[in-house]
Amino acid sequence: MTASIVYNGALRCESIHLKSNTAIETDAPTDNRGKGERFSPTDLTATSLGLCVLTTMAIKATDMGIELQGAKADVLKVMSSEPPRRIIKVVVAIALPALHLSEKDRTILEATGNACPVARSLHPDIEQDISYMWL
């Protein structure tokens, strides 16, 4: 198993990562009866795309002898305004450190980010808008 989840009431859950024993608490979003004081499950889904892009790029960069420390991702989740409630779009803006990389290396790293496991796992109806800015 990966995680154990307990519903704590008041639309909040706690998930324990079993290997590390670290916890994530969630709350329902404010537009669906929650207080919005924690990530919602759909926030985590969208955020996972940004995390996965950065992580897979960092793995590939390490293999290429490149350090991406300081890279950042900003994530925007867009929900459907019509039933059923679902994520319809995730926008991920990746800002990478100022490195003197060839166009080929940048292309390889961006393609790696675009092909991360979360990007490949999200339903094809969810639009993924991933952009890269090399500072």
* pLDDT > 90 fraction of the chain, expressed in percent and rounded: 99
Cα separation of the two ends of the chain: 40
Q: Say yes or no to pLDDT of 80 above 90.
A: yes
Which residue blocks in 64-125 are alpha helix, DSSP H? 103-114, 117-121
Residue numbers of the domain that contains 32: 1-39
123 with 59, same domain? Answer: yes
Strands 12-17 and 22-27: antiparallel
* pLDDT > 70 fraction of the chain, expressed in percent and rounded: 100
User: Which two three-digit tokens encode residue 1?
Assistant: 């198993």
Q: Say yes or no to pLDDT of 10 above 90.
A: yes
The pLDDT of residue 98: 87
State how many domains the chain has: 2
135 or 110: which carries more pLDDT confidence?
A: 110
The pLDDT of residue 53: 98
pLDDT (tens digit per residue) in 56-71: 999 999 999 999 999 9
58 with 98, same domain? Answer: yes
76 with 111, same domain? Answer: yes
51 with 88, same domain? Answer: yes
